[in-house]
Amino acid sequence: MTFSTPFPHLLIPTPISKPATTAASPSSYSPLIHQIRPSSSVLRCSSISDMDATAGQGLYPLHRCKTIHLVRHAQGIHNVAGEKDHSAYLSQELFDAHLTPLGWQQVDNLRKHVQACGLLKKIELVVVSPLLRTMQTASGVFGGESYKDGIDVNPLMVANVGNSERPAISSLNCTPFLALELCREHLGVHPCDKRRSIHEYRPLFPAIDFSLIESDDDVLWTADVREKDEDVASRGMKFMNWLWTRKEKEIAVVSHSGFMFHALSAFGNDCHPLVKSEICKHFANCELRSMVIVDRGMIGSDSSTTNYPGKIPHGLDLPSDVANDKHPKEKGVPN
């Protein structure tokens, strides 16, 4: 869906460092800033505006950017049933669908990746949709270290959640996990997208923070009305604005294909079509896609933690060309 009104954010794919044994594909990402080597074509530009127009790049202050790592849940039982027969999505047997054995293999593979590329240590917050399959995925991918003797912490996920036959996942030295309704899948009609009550989830995921969910029961899902695509997109924009209110600069989001597709569809219209496609295409199960979100509308007020004011004590210290204009050198006085 294309929005005609301007948005306060810019969303741009960002590269993740890959393990040394993996060759990076030059077409696998589009970094925000490319290195520019001096060349005759650059030097022939007649003005700064010419350079900006031809380069197709952008510069933004670092403190007005966040990195978000978007993850779709691993394969659920509803994915398998729905691929065979789309009407299966109406089945009550798929209520709050859990992961399949293949889904857990996908989780294990993604965890190995985020460990190998160093991402697991960078993430400051994990935001997760409060449905069984997303919380299983988030726990398996971004969970804590193994339990150690003498250390008593709540598990992130208890054993055998969703008939998984998986051992408990520790929250030891774990990034905070926060459940949020804004990043849920399309609401309504499909029982697989209806959540359980929060008091049922808490014993299953003791270390996930459910405090931002206002209702214990699922009051958002209705049996007879499916949420419109444009309403999902609007909810996605609210979610992006909410992300910007967080103090964390590197956030993982574990959500759903439909939600992320419609949430991201508003972005990339001012980019190259291949970049637009990279941002907005549908997610595969357990796919991770990293983006930089930029505050172009000044909705944030954070100050930089790395900028430095320079000259101390403060005073007049103009660039030489400006100083020459303001203070023409006296005749016979050298520079």
Catalytic amino acids? 73, 185
Categorise residue 160: left if φ over 0, alpha if ψ from -120 to 50, beta otherwise: left
Structure token pair of residue 148: 């150690």
- Strands of the chain (E only): list them: 9-13, 65-72, 125-128, 155-157, 169-170, 177-179, 208-209, 250-255, 288-295
Distance of CA 265 to CAs 21, 237, 269, Å? 34, 10, 9
The conformation of residue 204, written as its DSSP 8-state character, comes to T
Where does residue 314 rank: exposed (0-12), middle (13-18), buried (19+ CB within 10 A)?
exposed
Distance CA 328, CA 294 (A): 42
Cα 162 to Cα 30: distance, rounded to the nearest angstrom:
38
